[in-house]
Amino acid sequence: MFGKKKPEKTNLEIIDLNEDSALSSDKDPKVLIEFKDVCKKYSQGEHDFYALKDANLTINEGEMVVILGPSGAGKSTLLNLLGGMDSASSGHIMFDGEDLTTYSDNQLTKYRAQNVGVVFQFYNLIPTLTAYENVALMKDIKDDTADPLEALASVGLADHAHQFPSQMSGGEQQRTSIARALAKNPRLLLCDEPTGALDTDTGKEVLKLLQDMSREKNRTVVMVTHNSFFADIADTVIRVKNGGIQSVVHNDTPKDASEVSW
């Protein structure tokens, strides 16, 4: 991995939801995702509009990746393609050697259920369900999910299991949504502006949690943000502008999430 630092202790205790999936960081980095000339276009009258054009990139397993760019740049398009929530117009999207662009709708549904956890800016918790019940919902999507209590404990929320979203702070709600995503044991954790609705200190805690998932559990974390300060904590920074990938930069010495300020 690109000069990963030794993990530091966090005040949020992380438990391993899947010991078997944790690969040794001493091994060569394994390519998990590859985009080859990927385009996403929309027809607008007689013209085609490219939300993403000729995108090429590689993401290794266990990396923390930050996708940066202004509004309308194509960040969500990239995230949706990574997560199998959208299909490319052309090109190839490889996930662990399999080409997602050849998948049927059913295969894509299975891909999402098995491999992808998503964390949203506004948490997307169901207000009439407790934290425990929100996390337990994952059982309907995948068979071998983690115990909801264990998933909540992994984000430091074991004592909040029976609270409703309205009874929790924004940070606790976001940690619940991360627990929900982790309960699926996803190989890929996609985060869309996960700190966008949080104050700086709470946002840092969430960033630290996500960074620890990558550093300690070898999960691949891809985060979309317009906050350029987050570039400092990433193993890889992908900059997007006007539907094009401007740069892919690997960072040998990413900062610890607790050190970043904005």
Residues that bind ligand ADP (CB under 6 A): 42, 51, 69, 71-77
Residue in 250, 240, 253, 252 with CA at minimum distance from that of residue 40? 240
Tokens 């027809």 — which residue?
A: 43
Tell me phi and psi for residue 216, to 5 degrees.
Answer: -100, -30
CB 42 to ligand ADP: min, Å: 4
- Measured from the CB atom, the residue of 11 and 43 that comes closer to ligand ADP is 43
The identity of residue 243, as a single letter, is G
CB 74 to ligand ADP: min, Å: 4
CB 76 to ligand ADP: min, Å: 3
Q: How many CB atoms neighbour CB 205 within 10 A?
A: 21
Six-digit token pair at 220? 């691949």
- Measured from the CB atom, the residue of 10 and 87 that comes closer to ligand ADP is 87
CB 41 to ligand ADP: min, Å: 9
- Measured from the CB atom, the residue of 3 and 72 that comes closer to ligand ADP is 72
Q: What's the farthest any 2 CA atoms get from each other in the chain?
A: 57
- Measured from the CB atom, the residue of 75 and 239 that comes closer to ligand ADP is 75
Q: How many CB atoms neighbour CB 210 within 10 A?
A: 23
Six-digit token pair at 262? 């904005």
